[in-house]
Structure formats: structure tokens, C-alpha cells
């Protein structure tokens, strides 16, 4: 009869191996990030993706919402859910979340032209957050648009909409702190893949016409919350 203790030790070793492999892969893929504009212009559709966890912390839901780039009207919504198979390790969240993001994107009838991720791009300790991971793996133009700062420092930011301060880590510009509306808290924009920082900031402002967050994030957040309610059911 096998020992539960032995199983626990084996699981821990397997998790450590997975983390080591992920770190090596992260470093390899980070070198492939394209930090200049390399997307088809004009962009007619912009897709937002957001991920949420069920109360058990293992089931994951992703929503991908495509909007018309001019009117910001929704064109298409896709959701997917699954189980987190990668351990919870800070700095490696994309390895937990990317599989379900890919699953949601695959359900879209029209392929994304530009994707805005609710998370980091290169504004990450190893310059490879979810937006960059998704962009490199799928060869898609992507933008990281985070509600909170993960790393980096910046100069004071003016209160007016459109004010920008560069986000810097170890003397490297990794993103921008961007005020999307007068007097509201800023968001943190960063290159994901195949887009320059100036262009990324321009797109975020274009998508955040009336609120702090861009419509891509707002729409994906709403869709993922609705999907999460469906899989979790009504409160007991």
C-alpha cells in the first residue's frame, strides 16, 4: 500500500520541476517579445480577456470579448473554464491562466487583431507577464493593462486625462502609468507583444472613453463574472 506521505513528497518534487521548467521557458520566450509596432493597420476589432477563479481556487474561468474598434460595441463574446494545473507561484501566473485564455480565444469566430489583457506585459520581474506570454505563443499584438503596479517606480503623475509617467525598473522602461480620466486612479500599461509603448497607451486611452478602465477590460470583466456565477451556482 502506498504511503500518502510519499505521494505528497512526489507531488512537491514534480511541482518544483514544473516551476524550474517554467522559469527556463519564461526566460526563453521573453527574449522573443517584439517591442515595436508590428500589427495590421487599421485595427477593426479589439479583444479584451479577463480571468477569474472560483471559490475553490482551482477552477478558472476566462472571458474573451471582441469590440468594434471605432464604436466599442460588442461583436462577440466567448467564455471557457477549466482547472488550474500549474502551481500557484508569484511571477508565473500566466502558466496557470494561459491554457484557459487560449481555450476562450479559440471559440471566437473571428480571430483577434489586438488583445488587451487584464494584467501585465513586460512590466513583470522577468519581463513576461500574461499579455506577453499570450502574444508570443499566438503571435498576436497584445497590451498589458493592469489595475495595480506589480514592480517599478515612476515620477508623480498629473491629474488630467492622458497624463503619462514612465514606469521604470532597473533603469529599464517597462511600462507607463496612465491617467485615463481626470482625477481617477491611473492604470498601468505595458507592451505585451508586437506593439510599441506609445501605441499601447494610445489604444488604452482610445478604449477608455468614459471610465477608468478600457471598455475591453470592463466588458471582459462583466462576462467573466457572469460565467463564474453559472459554474458556481446561486449562493447557498
50 is in an annotated binding site: yes
Count other C-beta atoms under 10 Å from residue 45's C-beta: 16
Q: Is 118 among the annotated ligand-binding positions?
A: yes
Separation CA 41–CA 56 (nearest Å): 42
Q: Can you tell me whether residue 220 is helix, strand or coil?
A: helix
Alpha carbon distance 123, 174 (integer Å): 5
Close Cβ partners of 122 (under 8 Å, ≥ 6 residues apart): 30, 33, 35, 128, 129, 132, 144, 174, 175, 190, 191, 192
Q: Which residues contact 86 (CB under 8 A, 6 or more apart)?
A: 18, 22, 92, 95, 96
Strand partners, 202: none
Binding-site entries for Mg(2+): 50, 118
Q: Which residues are annotated as a binding site?
A: 50, 118
Amino acid at each position: 500500500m502506498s504511503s500518502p506521505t510519499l505521494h505528497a513528497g512526489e507531488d512537491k518534487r514534480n511541482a518544483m520541476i514544473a516551476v524550474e521548467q517554467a522559469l527556463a521557458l519564461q526566460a526563453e520566450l521573453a527574449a522573443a517579445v517584439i517591442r515595436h509596432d508590428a500589427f495590421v493597420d487599421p485595427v477593426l476589432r479589439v479583444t479584451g480577456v479577463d480571468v477569474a477563479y472560483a471559490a475553490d481556487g482551482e477552477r478558472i474561468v476566462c472571458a474573451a470579448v471582441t469590440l468594434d474598434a471605432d464604436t466599442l460595441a460588442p461583436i462577440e463574446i466567448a467564455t471557457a473554464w477549466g482547472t488550474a494545473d500549474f502551481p500557484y507561484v508569484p511571477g508565473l501566473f500566466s502558466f496557470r491562466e494561459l491554457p484557459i485564455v487560449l481555450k476562450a480565444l479559440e471559440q471566437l469566430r473571428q480571430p483577434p487583431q489586438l488583445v488587451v489583457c487584464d494584467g501585465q506585459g513586460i512590466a513583470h520581474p522577468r519581463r513576461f507577464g500574461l499579455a506577453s506570454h499570450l502574444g508570443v505563443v499566438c503571435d498576436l499584438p497584445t497590451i498589458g493593462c493592469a489595475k495595480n503596479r506589480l514592480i517599478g517606480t515612476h515620477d508623480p503623475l498629473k491629474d488630467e486625462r492622458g497624463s503619462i509617467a514612465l514606469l521604470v525598473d532597473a533603469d529599464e522602461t517597462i511600462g507607463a502609468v496612465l491617467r485615463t480620466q481626470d482625477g481617477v486612479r491611473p492604470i498601468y500599461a505595458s507592451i505585451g507583444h508586437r506593439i510599441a509603448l506609445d501605441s499601447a497607451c494610445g489604444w488604452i486611452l482610445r478604449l477608455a472613453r468614459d471610465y477608468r478602465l478600457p471598455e475591453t477590460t470592463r466588458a471582459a470583466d462583466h462576462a467573466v463574472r457572469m460565467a463564474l456565477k453559472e459554474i458556481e451556482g446561486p449562493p447557498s
